[in-house]
Amino acid sequence: MLTLNKDTKMLIGGKWVNKEKKIKVLDPQNEELITEVPMAEQSDILLSIENAEEGASIASKMPVYERINILNKAADYIDKYKDMYSRTIAAEGSKTINEAHAEVSRSIQTIRLSAEEARRITGETIPFDQMPGSENRVGYYYKFPVGIVAAITPFNDPLNLVAHKVGPAIASGNAIIVKPSSLTPISALLLAEAFVEAGLPEKILSVITGSGKEIGNTLVSHPSIKLISFTGGYETGKKIAEKAGLKKISMELGSNSPTIILEDADLTKAVESTVAGSFGAAGQNCIGVQRIFVEQSKYNYFLNLFIEATKKLQMGDKKSSNTDIGPLISENEAIRIEKMVNEVTEKYDAKVLVGGFRNKAFYAPTILIDVPINSTIAKEEIFGPVVMVFPICNLEEGIKKSNEVDYGLQAGIFTQNISSTFHAIRELNYGGVMLNDSSDYRIDSMPFGGTKKSGVGREGVKYTIEDMTETKVVQFKL
């Protein structure tokens, strides 16, 4: 097992490597030192790419059954040590231990899904004789790996979001270099350990720990990198796209997700779902509920139930199974959110009904009303435990206001009316519409992604594999 001490190493081409310069990994709850990881330099990225060039050739020739076996063995390894994986996620990140357990379970499923999809990378025959003059031609197309994938991952799902890139890359016969968040690198290294223990050939996988400013430009701009898979913020994603040049890009860039609640909704279920969707993972969730639009006739009733449920949430030690809300990833993030809330209450007279206060890296679950729809906090991504509740006259107003942001990842709607349901599905400009669920719903096999500033392409194991492969047409003239 990887030991968390001052010799925690990164993985370059299947070999564990240490460096003299280190990055401290701190517990955001109390700023205690967990471990130190190497601070990679330019030479380390170049070495990882050099290894990956050989690794891509090895991976592409690996039989499908071997890819499947390695993926399943890696999943077995994580399952065997799942408690340790959960404790690591909870220690280095913001998640409570219960949320960490759930992420580990999802990560195991993501890797097993990758194993299943490895056997389904197929092609089709092409009827070339559909065109005059091609009567004596037959053929098909098939999928082949792109080569080297660069994966850049955030802090909020430090294991599963890495699994969503590594699993499909191995399933489709690629080499992959992972650059995890410097705030939560240990989970990614533990995932790498699972694949090393599973027998993944050397040179196929690297996990490089270091500053994005130091190593990021080379990673995304190097001509040997054929696909960049990035999960993070819009501004960073935009810079990566500008530097990447002509190569494949897949990006999930966050959102400002709405949930609409109509007067015929089951309010008990709507409250339960939106409270969880607003405040889970301390609100650091790209599909977390940020705006709730409630039909006027049920607005006050819903709001009272929502306030009552929110007040029951326990904020505190994330290692306790009784805790619902842990800290944000850093005190600076909590200060940022505090400033956003203070600005809208002082400048626009918005009202705080619950929460609205900070204690170091903790920010209390917060409900806002009377927020101007064109204010910064209503239009941009908060990425914290703050939700706004608005009254609406009807579904049309809810759809219109839901669409009045530059993001479009996922939306939710609660209603029992089939006509309202299909109208919302058609008119909401989002990559996913969750019916009688909040925006905060996802399974790891579905196509996941959004419109506008929310990204490019779709994640989800099958759909990631599509991005990580190219199509080759084969034609025979008889």
Active site residues: 252, 286
In the chain, the N- to C-terminal Cα span, in Å, equals 57
Q: Which residues pair with 32 in a beta bridge?
A: none
d(C-alpha 77, C-alpha 98), whole Å: 20
Query: How does DSSP assign 237-276, residue by residue?
Result: HHHHHHHH-SSEEEEE----EEEEE-TTS-HHHHHHHHHH
Provide CB contacts within 8 A for 42, sequence distance 6+.
214, 215, 218
Which CA distances in Å does 369 have to 137, 263, 350, 351? 67, 19, 6, 5
Phi-psi region at 127: left, alpha or beta (left = phi > 0; alpha = psi -120 to 50): beta
Count of Cβ atoms closer than 10 Å to residue 30 Cβ = 10
Q: Is the dihedral of CA 222, 226, 231, 237 positive or negative?
A: positive
In sequence order, which ranges of 81-180 are alpha helices (DSSP H)? 82-92, 97-118, 160-171
Tokens of 460: 């989800």
d(C-alpha 27, C-alpha 184), whole Å: 9
Which candidate, 350, 347, 454, places its Cα nearest to that of 411? 454
Tally of CA atoms within 13 A in the half-sphere of 465 that contains its CB: 25
Which candidate, 214, 253, 219, places its Cα nearest to that of 236? 253
Tokens of 306: 């929502």
Which H or E run contains 186? Answer: helix 186-197
d(C-alpha 428, C-alpha 406), whole Å: 13
Please tell me whether residue 423 adopts helix, strand or coil conformation: helix
Length of the chain in terms of residues written: 478
Tokens of 426: 């058609």
Residue linked to tokens 């705080």: 352
Cβ–Cβ < 8 Å for 399, 427: yes
